[in-house]
Structures are given as C-alpha cells and as structure tokens.
Amino acid sequence: MANRHLARTIVLQSLFEWDFGQMQPGAYLDILKRNIAEFAPEIAKEDFAERLIEGVVRKQPVIDQIIGKAAPEWPVEKIGLPDRNVLRIGLYELLFGNRDEVPPKVAINEAIELAKKFGGDNTGRFINGVLGAVYKELGEPDKDQVSSKKKPIQIDESKLPIEKKAGAVVYSDKDGVIRLAFVHDVFGYWTLAKGGISNDENEEAGVIREIKDELGIDVEVVEKLGENTYIASHPEKGKIKKNVILFLVKAEFGELHLESTGGLDGAEWFELGEIHNLKMYDDIIPIITKAVSIITSK
C-alpha cells in the first residue's frame, strides 16, 4: 500500500510536468519513467504507476468534463496545475479504476492526502468537495464500509442550506407507441432531465421551464411522482441539502435539442421495451417504474 501511495505521488509529479509542457502526445510515459528512476526506483518493477497514468491520460477529456459538472464555478483551465491533476487521478480511480484493487473511499482519501501534501491551504477541502459530489452521483458505492476507527459524523440537517431542483419522467404517446426521454450524463448513465428552481418558484412551472431549457420541448404536467432529499458536498459551500421534486410530464414526440452543458452529452427517446437495457442510477428506477405504471394504466 505504501508503494501505491508513492506511485500516485510520482504519477502526480509526472502529470504536472506533462500538463505544464502542454500535454505532448506520448511524452507522459517518458516523464514517468524518468521520475521513477530518479525518485522512486523501488517501484520500477511494478506496473501500478504506469497503468494509472495511462488511464488518466486516456480518460482525461471525459474526466475534465466531469470536473466541469461537479465544480461549475471552477473551469478546468483555471484550476491550479497540482489541484487539477490530483482531481484527474482521484476521478480516474473513483470512476474507471478496479474497485477490488482501489475501493472508492480509498481513491478519495488518497486524492485528499495528495492534495494536502502538494496543494494550497484550501486544496484538500476543494478536492474532497468535488470527489464527494461525484461519489454521491454514483450512488455512494461501498458507503457502508466504515472504518472501525472512525465514527460517522453527525450532521444537523436543519442547519444546512437547501438547493431545490425539479425533474421529470418525460413521455410521449404517438400512434400507440409510448416512449420516454432521458438524458445521458458524462458519468455514462441515462437519467432524468432536471434543473434548479428557486425556493419560492411554483414547482410545476419550474419543471416545465427546466425541461424546455434542457431538452428544447414543451411539456404538460400529468402528476407529481414524489420527492428525493439527500445531503451532498459542494466544493465551495460544503454540505448542502438537495431537494428534488419529480413529476410525470407528457410531450409531443419529436426531436430533442440538448442544452449545451458540461454535465450532459446526449438525449434520446426510448420505447418501453428498450429501457431495461439502459445503464441507470439505482435511485431513479423506482420513479421510472411508478411512471410507467401510471402511463400504461391510462
């Protein structure tokens, strides 16, 4: 384990140098090998560092998109070189790494340790916030694996700021064929269209506006499906409470026009028989099931 921590340190150093040198194709491996020979010859026979840097570089465009979604106030190019490369390592291990080899919580903790060692005074909190937000989006895999040495932190939810969102299961019924519209996010999941609304905004008006903005289509609200409240980590604001109100809405079948955003990369209609093949977050499956039950009973 100590060797892997050292390997991550050398990978970070190499990515920093590669990034500073304007990311010349293929140069990162030569940089890595030179740094291993000079600073960590004891890991030369292992392939962990090489696999890690190759994975980060290969997935770097997608990872940078994810950083843009998780920390929209901080464009990647404006994040300091050490910080953004710590994020790239942490996100690669969290999203694309072998979880048997590096569990999600280990990936996050290792990135935070790198941030504390090589970043500024607030880097650790920033890295923790971004990775925590992504971890939440993933459904907190292995979240029950709590260290026996640590007690869960108790959070007073009543004192947390609230961020309100409205989302919807969007459906159409054309010539007897029922279709649902989903958006595809940069994490690789098909999910529900949603967006932020103000705390005093009418929820139905808010979801109609958000679907129009995100998919470019007009909808009418059929009924409310439920609410989902959870605690999330914001890179700058810290812990916040997110309240998502979900609706079933109906639209005319037609072309979808996805809003330009760093967090989404696709939007499509799917017939009911195609939905079970889609990669989706576990927490929206009951909502979709409820919506389909309502639609098919009409």
The tens digit of pLDDT for each residue in 153-178 reads 556 666 777 788 899 999 999 999 99
If you average pLDDT over every residue of the chain, what do you get?
86
Domain that holds residue 188: 157-297
Give per-residue pLDDT as tens, 40-58: 999 988 899 999 999 999 9
Residue 142 confidence (pLDDT) above 50: yes
pTM of the full predicted structure?
0.58
Question: Which CATH number belongs to the domain containing residue 237 in this structure?
Answer: 3.90.79.10
DSSP 63: H
pLDDT band for position 72 (cuts 50, 70, 90)? confident
**Residue 90 confidence (pLDDT):** 94
- Residue 189 identity: Y
Q: Residue length, the chain?
A: 298
Same domain, 214 and 83: no
Mean pLDDT of 115-129: 83
Better pLDDT: 162 or 11 = 11
Q: How many domains does the chain have?
A: 2
User: Nearest Cα to 17, choosing from 75, 67, 85?
Assistant: 85
With a pLDDT cut of 70, the percent of the chain lying above it is: 87
Better pLDDT: 207 or 229 = 207
Same domain, 167 and 247: yes
**Residue 147 confidence (pLDDT):** 44
- Whether 161 maps to a domain, the answer reads yes
| Residue where a domain terminates, one of 80, 103, 137 | 137
- Whether 200 maps to a domain, the answer reads yes
Q: Give the contacts of 104 (CB within 8 A, at least 6 positions apart).
A: 94, 135, 138, 141, 142
Same domain, 262 and 196: yes
**Residue 125 confidence (pLDDT):** 84
Better pLDDT: 160 or 5 = 5
pLDDT band for position 143 (cuts 50, 70, 90)? low
Question: Which CATH number belongs to the domain containing residue 25 in this structure?
Answer: 1.10.940.10
Better pLDDT: 78 or 238 = 78
